[in-house]
Every structure is written in structure tokens, then in C-alpha cells.
Structure 1
Amino acid sequence: MAKRVAVIDIGSNSARMVIYEKTSRFAFHILHEAKSRVRISQNAYQNGGNLQEVPMQRAYDALEDFLCIIASFKARKTLCVATSALRDAPNKGEFLQRVKSGLGLAIKVIDGEREAYLGAIACANLLPQQQNALSIDIGGGSTEFSLIHNKDILSKISLNLGTVRLKELFFDFNNIDGAKKLVDAELEKLDGLDAARLIGIGGTFRAISYAIQTNSNHPLEKLHAYTPNYKEFELFLEKILDADEDGLKKLGIKNSRFDVIKPGALILLRVLKRFKIKELITSGVGVREGAFLADLLRSSKDKFPANYNPSVRYLLDAHIDDLSHANLLAKVTKELFDLTCETLKIEKKYRYELGLAAKLCMSGSTIHFYSYNKHSYELIEDALEFGFTHEQIVLIATLARFSKRKLPSSSHIERFEALLPEANQLNALSYLLSLSVALLSHRPRNVDFTLHFENNVLEIVSKKSLYLARESVEKVEALKNNPIKISFL
């Protein structure tokens, strides 16, 4: 697979382009992203599904600029997929040929099941692992559903429901009852599916989640893996349907979505009423990420290897100069955790996050050594994108931020209180990581000491003097009422 790959997704409402760069076999990051609200399906549904000239020209112009951007990044491969608006259009051949002859771009029009599958493999691989989850991708012309269990895609269904379709056929004529009847009739095709979680893909779900997140002062400014409260979400949908434009603005809906947010909210509300959903999850990934992953993972059944995380691997590839030292930090930190977690009353479930924080805590040194903790925190918070809950991201970033002697500040704990473990456990985790950093301050090629813990005494045994380690350990901020005594032998 090429090192740089561009993906273009032509939807009914928007066209999007993203350029990915691989840093190792399965690790990648985004180099550039562009979006244009071309609304290629505008007025199509009132004209037998036929694409109209002005929207087609808008889409053509956007694609021309996308290709210019792709060329500037020297991407070696471009994948271009089109969904509902084109597959439904009797005159799609005219547009496809115009783009092929004028721009040299081959557009692959995918069917509804393939669209559902691409969105689902993006969620299955790039969200925290889900059991019994139903993904929903509300587009302009269709809505796709997939049943996901762990990383397996069990069902793929595409319905002729979309925000632009409902707008032009019903909402423009104030025929809300007609829209409800169509939605409910289409949703009958989902009979037999059962899911406790709903994963929201696409612009409608993200726009609503963003508004709720902003209004609730959620401490982490990240939509991917955000879990809005079910009751708040349902109430918000009802408010959208009752609001005028001024009301939508007050709710936090952007002007560009005023004309399509109500049809999308109606679809979501009817889905929530049909299923016994207990949890909502916002996905920042969808069809274009799925198209990229289908290409990247084609030799591994569209799944990452077991225990592999592309975000962690990207940070290690791009920002850890000495992987050997990072692995030693993780090893010593986890050993300290195993020895002392019961004494320090730390839940064992935090061992994974502590180990990752140890491995990544030096990542910021590639930006500026003297403030590497600050940069490590920011890198982890931003780039630890895929496969983690918001709670995990904030915990790992926090531990990295305070891995240099000092315990987390009260102001930091207060800011992220809703996402962090209770203070005593957080401080104990932070203390263990700082202790590990101190013990390895002389940067040995291999661990040159052994650890023993008995009767609340941690013994560090070595044939070497460990002079720098002794000095560094003394500077580590101790826990309040710390039960652990440290002895060098």
C-alpha cells in the first residue's frame, strides 16, 4: 500500500477528502482534510432522482480542487466513492463520465450494503470495542445500519431515508406526518435486530452531539467516542423538531445545517423509540475511514491485529526517539503497579492506562525537551484518537503530564473531575509513574535492578550505585500519608 493515500467520499449533502500517511504497516495519521457542501442531490428527489446541472457543476469544481490538494501532498493512491445520490440517479453516467474525462478521476459508486459495511468497519476498528451495538449513518439520501459485536459486522442494511430526501419530499411542504409514516415504514425492515448501544455516524449525529457537548461543558473537546446522555439526547431531538431558526441557533446548531437537521432529528427519534437503546456513542469516523481501512487491512480480514492500536503505534513511530527506553518505563511501571496496587488501593483496571502513559510520557521531547511533559500531554490528548474512551484518553494524558516528580494539580483534577478516577487513585497512579521515571533516570539499556515489596517497604536491589536514581527518587512528590517506604540495597 502507498505511504500516502487520499480518500474522497461524495455524499448527497457534502463531498469530503482526506489524506492519510502511514508511519508503519498499520499505523497512520491524517495529513490534510477538506470538505465542501456541494449538495449534489439538491432538487434531485423532486425530479425523479436525476442530478441537476448546477449541483453537478459544484461537485465537479470541488473534485477538481480536491485533486489539486492531493497532488500537492504527492499522494500515490486516490480512492473515490460515491453513495446514495449517485447510485439513485438515472443520469449518474453523465456525471461519472464528465469527471472521468475532465479530471481523470474514477468514481466508484457503492451500493447501500457496502456503504453500511464501510462505516461499520471504521467503527469496529477505531472506536472502543463494542458489544451488541447498532451503527446508524444518516446521509442526505439514505440511512445505513450495521449490527456490530466486538469487531464483527453481523448485519448491513441500507434504507431510503435521508435528510435531503425527506426535506425535499416532505419538510418543504410541511408534511411532517408523511415523513413520519415513511420513516416508520422503512424502519420496519430492521425488525429482528436488537441492540443496547447506538453508534452515531455522519453529520447529523455529530452536529447534535457537538451541541450537547458544548452546552454541557464536557471537559474534553473531542467528538469521537463522546457518549451523550440518552435522556438529554432524546429531549434535544424533540427541541430541534419544535424550534424555529432562532431556536436552532440557540441550541447550538450551525446555520449550514438548519435545512436538514430536522429531518435527521426525526429519523433519530423514530429509531430511538423503536429500539431499547441504553447508550449512545458518537463516531468521528465513517465511510471514508472505512474505505481507507478496507484497503489498508485487506490482507487481515478488515481488522487490526489483536491488541494493536493505530493511534498508539503512530505516537511511537513519530514521537518516541528511544523505543527501548519507553518499553523499559512501561515494564518497570507495571511491575511497581503489580507489587503495590493493593496497598495503594488502586483498581487493577487502571494497569493498562498506566502502562501506556509510561510508554508515551516522553513523546513530547521531540517537540521541546524542557517542556516535554506539557507537549506529551497535548500530543496524547489530541492524537490518542482511536480505540479509547474519553476517560482513558484523559487519564493517560494526565499521567504523562505529571510524570516528572509532581502529583496532578488540584486545578487539573477539578477541570477533568468527570473523566478522571477519584483523586487518591489518580495520585497513586501518578506517583508510580514518577517513581519509574526516577528509577530509570540513568537510562540503562536493560533494567539493572530488581524490585521487592514486603511489609510496605519497596526495596530496589542493584549491584550498581544508582546514584542518579537515588537522587531523583528523593525529589518525587510523595503521596499524602504514603504507606510505602523506599530502600536502596
Structure 2
Amino acid sequence: MAKRVAIIDIGSNSVRMVVYEKTSRYAFHLLHEEKSKVRISQNAYKHNGELQETPMQRTFDALSDFLSIANSFKVRKILCVATSALRDAPNKQEFLQRVKHKLKLNIKVISGEKEAYFGAIACANLLPKQTSALSIDIGGGSTEFAFINEDSVTDTLSLKLGTVRLKELFFDKDDIDGAVAYIDSELDKLPDTSKLTTLIGIGGTFRAISNAILKESLYPLNKLHAFEYNSNTFKDYLKRLLQTKSDEELLALFIKSNRFDVIKPGALILQRLMKKIAISKIITSGVGVREGVYLSDLLRNSRHKFPQNYNTSVRYILDSYVQDKTFSNHLALLSKKIFTLTSEYFNLDTEYKHILTIAAKLYPAGSNVHFYSQNKHSYYIIQSALEYGFSHHNIMLISTLTKYAKNKLPSDTHLQLYAKLLPDNAHITHSLSYILSLSIALLSHRPRNIDFEMEFEKGILKISSKEKLYLSQHAVAKLECRDQHFNVIFSS
């Protein structure tokens, strides 16, 4: 696969482009993102789906500029897909041929089921694993569904429910009862939903609503991908949104002005869906069709799945920011070993071993930005770039451990600020932080291989080595530990 790939997605409401760059076989990151609200489907549903000239020209112009951007990044491959508006348009060949002839761009019009599949494989690979989940992607002309269980995708479905479609057919005529009846009749086509526990939201409408809920709740982490909340919060917000009578009331609910005309049709689809299914958890996806198209190409030889126990975001940070891979691996190995020896003493659940190992592996990332502020930069890089496959709780804990590693235990101010996302018991965060700092201290002499053995009994960690470990002894002595009975002794 080419190192740099551009994905263009022509939707009914917007046309978007992302540029991805590989850093190793399965690791990648976003180089650029562009969006234009061309609304190619404008007035189409009033004319039997026929695309109108002005929206087609807007879309053509946007695509022309997108290709210029892709060329500036020296992209080697461009994958362009189109969804509902072009799929339904009787005159789509007119637009497709114009673009192919004048821009030399081949557009692949994908089926609704394929669109649902692309969105779902993006969620299955790039969100924390979920069981019994339903993904929903509300577009301008259609809404796609897929059933997700861990990393498997089944029962994809596309319905003729879209924000622009509903706006033009019902909302512009103030026929809300008609919209409800139409939505319900389409939703009746969904297969059995009785075992669902989680709803995963894809697309601009869902993200706009989740972003508003995030802001309204004063959520401490500014990250929408993998933002999770309960269904009661969701239902309450949808009810209040649909009751608004003015743009000012929408603004007060943190809806951006560019969404005013289509947010209510989307919210009504979601409200009617929530009456039909009984789920407890809502998860917001920052990825969708574009990422699915990219992953289907990247993972084409592995059934569209990453290798077992592989995380693309961890690998990207290691590729891009960690120069001394040996130290990173030693630190991860040592932290894991100390955790295994002391977890019962510190009363730590085994689930935290993986979190600690990732924090240890990524801790050196910040030194590639600036040595003297390594912890600050590691903290920021992990919060921002540890994007895929982790919950917000895990991202916050991993970044917190790196922020305070080697120096001191996490402050009470920090723990209070991120109380929603960190373990309820501060002892857990303090203990994990101490284990990471202890591991860093024990590797102060940067050995080629770990040159000491460890034993732990009754609160005493015994370090045995043929070397004096002079620097390590002094570094360990400076560490802060809340457990006054815990001790580290050295012997040679």
C-alpha cells in the first residue's frame, strides 16, 4: 500500500477528504483533513432524486481543490467513494463522467450495505472492543446500520432515512407527524435488536449531538472519539433539542449554526430509534466511512482486522516519537514485572497491568520534542495521539502516569480535575505512578539488558545485581511513595 493515501467521501450533505500516512506496516496517522458543505443533494429529493446543476458544480469545484491539496502532499493513491445522493440519482452518470473527464478522478458509487460495512469496520478496529453493539451512521440521504460484536461485523442495512431527505420531504412542509410515520416504517426493517447493549454513533449529526452533550456536561477531556455516556442522558438531550423553537435555543444547546437546518431531522431519527431499542450505553465514533475505506485497503490481506494485540496508535507514537526503542521495551518489561510482584500488596486488579505497560512503553515519547520538558510533552502526545482502541478512562490514566513519572506522585488538583476519568480510588493511580517511577529509577544507568534480579516479600522489594547500581540507588531514594511500609533494598 502507498505510504500516503487520500480518501474522498462524497456524501449528500458534505464532501470530505482525509490524507493518511503510514509510519510502519499497520501504523498510520492523519496528515490532513478537509471538508466542504456542498450539499450535492440540495433540492434533489423534490425532483425525484435528480441532482441539480448548482450543487453539482459546487461539488465539482470542491473536488478540484481537494485534488490540488492531495497533490501538495505527494499522495500516491486516491480512493474516492460516493454514497446516497449519487447512488439514488437518475442523472449520476452526467456528474461521474464530468469528474472523470475533467479531473481524471474515478468515483466509486458504493451500495448502502457497503457504506454501512465501511463505517462498521472502522468502529470495530478503532474503538474499544464492544459486544452486542449497533452502529448508526446518519447521512443526508440515508442511514446505515451494522451489528458489531468485538471485531466482527454482521447484518449491514441501509435505510432511506437522511437529514436532507427528511428536511425536504417533511420538515420544510412542517409535517412532523408524517416524518415520524415515515421514520418508524423504515426502522421496522431493522432485524432483531433485543440483545443490543450499545449504540455506536457515526457521522456529522451524531458527532454534533455528542459534542454538545460533552460541552454541556463540562467533560474534562476534549476528545470526541470514544466519548461514552448513558442512554438516559442521550434521550433527555434529544427531547430538549426537538423542543427548541429558535436558533438561539439551539445555540444554547451547543449546536453549531452550520447544523441548524438538519439537526432536528437527525435528532428525530435517533429519538424514534431509541423508542425501538433498549440499550444502556452510547459511544461516539470519530471515524466512519473514510477510515473504513482506508482500512479495507490497508488490511486487505488480514480480513480487515489488525493482528491480535496490535494497536495502531501505540505503534504510531513509537514510530514517530520514541527514538530509544530498547529503553522503551526495557521500561515496559520491568514495569510489568514489578506489577506482577507487587499487585497483590498494592491491591491492584490485573486489568491495570496492560495500562501500566503502555504508559511505560510510551513514556520516552516526549523527550523527542524537548528533553527538559519530556513529561509534559509525553502527556500531551498521549492525550492527543493515543486515538484508537482505548477508552477515555484508559487514555487519561496512561497520560497521567507519564506526566508524573520519575518526579512525584499525581497531584490532588490533577486527580480532582479528571475525577470522572481516573480510578475512583486515588490509591490505584498513586501505586501505578510509583511503580512506573520506580522502574525508571532502576534503569537510571541505561543497561543494554536488565542486569538485576528482583524478589518481593512482606513489603520489601529486593534488588540483586553484580553491579553497584549507584545511580539507581540514589534515584530510588528520591521517590515519593504513599505506603510507608514499602521499601526497596539493594544487594550485590
Q: Which residue of 2 aligns with 1:102?
A: 102
Name the counterpart of 1:12.
12
Q: Is 1:470 aligned to residue 488 of structure 2? A: no
1:36-75 aligned at under 5 Å gives the runs 36-75=36-75
Contact 1:413–1:423, Cα closer than 8 Å, also in 2 = yes
1:348 aligns with 2:350: yes
CA deviation profile, 1:406-444 (whole Å, cap 9, x unmatched): 100111111101100121110010000000000001110
One-letter amino acid matched to 2:211: Y
SS in 1 for 2:137: strand
Cα contact 1:12–1:84 (8 A) shared by 2: yes
Unmatched runs of 5 consecutive residues or more in structure 2: none
Match of 2:411? Answer: 409
Aligned to 1:208: 209
User: Partner of 1:248 in structure 2?
Assistant: 250
Judge which range, 197-206 or 226-235, deviates more: 226-235
Report the residue type matching 2:390 in the other structure.
F
Give the aligned partner of residue 301 of structure 2: 299
Percent identity reads 59
Q: In structure 1, what is the equivalent of residue 127 of structure 2?
A: 127
Taking the aligned partners of 2:156 and 2:386, their CA distance within structure 1 comes to 29
Q: Is the 8 A contact 1:373 1:401 kept in 2?
A: yes
Decide which of 390, 408, 426 is 1:423's aligned counterpart: 426
Q: Compute the TM-score of the two structures, normalised by the length of structure 2.
A: 0.98
Alignment of 1:454-469 (within 5 A): 454-469=457-472
Question: Over aligned residues, Cα RMSD in angstroms?
Answer: 0.7
Counterpart-to-counterpart distance in 2, 1:466 and 1:191 = 64
- Give the superposition deviation at 1:95: 0.5
Once superposed, which parts of structure 1, at least 4 consecutive aligned residues long, lie more than 6 Å away?
none
C-alpha displacement at 1:483, in angstroms?
2.4
**Match status 1:220 vs 2:221:** yes
Partners of 2:280 and 2:484 lie apart in 1 by 41
Q: Secondary structure at the match of 2:25?
A: coil
State the Cα distance separating 1:351 from its structure 2 match: 0.8
1:322-333 pair list within 5 angstroms: 322-333=324-335
User: Who is 1:229 aligned against?
Assistant: 230
Residue in 2 that maps onto 1:143: 143
Conserved 8 A contact 1:122-1:287: yes
| Whole-angstrom distance in 2 between the partners of 1:233 and 1:311 | 29
CA distance in 1, matches of 2:117, 2:296: 10
1:440 matches 2:443: yes
**TM-score (norm. length: structure 1):** 0.99
Deviation at 1:332, TM superposition (A): 0.6
Q: Deviations over 1:36-88 (max 9, x none)?
A: 00100000000010000110011001001100000000010000000000000
Give 2:455's match in structure 1, choosing from 449, 452, 458: 452
Name the structure 1 match of 2:86: 86
Asked if the contact 1:140–1:162 (Cα under 8 Å) also holds between the matched residues in 2, the reply is: yes
Name the CA distance, whole Å, in 2 between partners of 1:433 and 1:476: 11
C-alpha separation in 2, matches of 1:342 and 1:131: 30
Alignment of 1:354-433 (within 5 A): 354-421=356-423, 422-433=425-436
Structure 1 stretches lacking a partner, 5+ long: none
The whole-number CA distance in structure 1 between the counterparts of 2:342 and 2:179 is: 60
- How far is 1:228 from its partner? 2.3
Distance in structure 1 (CA, Å) of the matches to 2:70 and 2:254: 33
1:213·1:228 contact (CA, 8 Å) conserved in 2?
A: no
Give yes or no for contact 2:227–2:392 (8 Å, CA) kept in 1. yes
User: What is the CA–CA distance in structure 1 between the aligned matches of 2:252 and 2:221, rounded to whole Å?
Assistant: 22
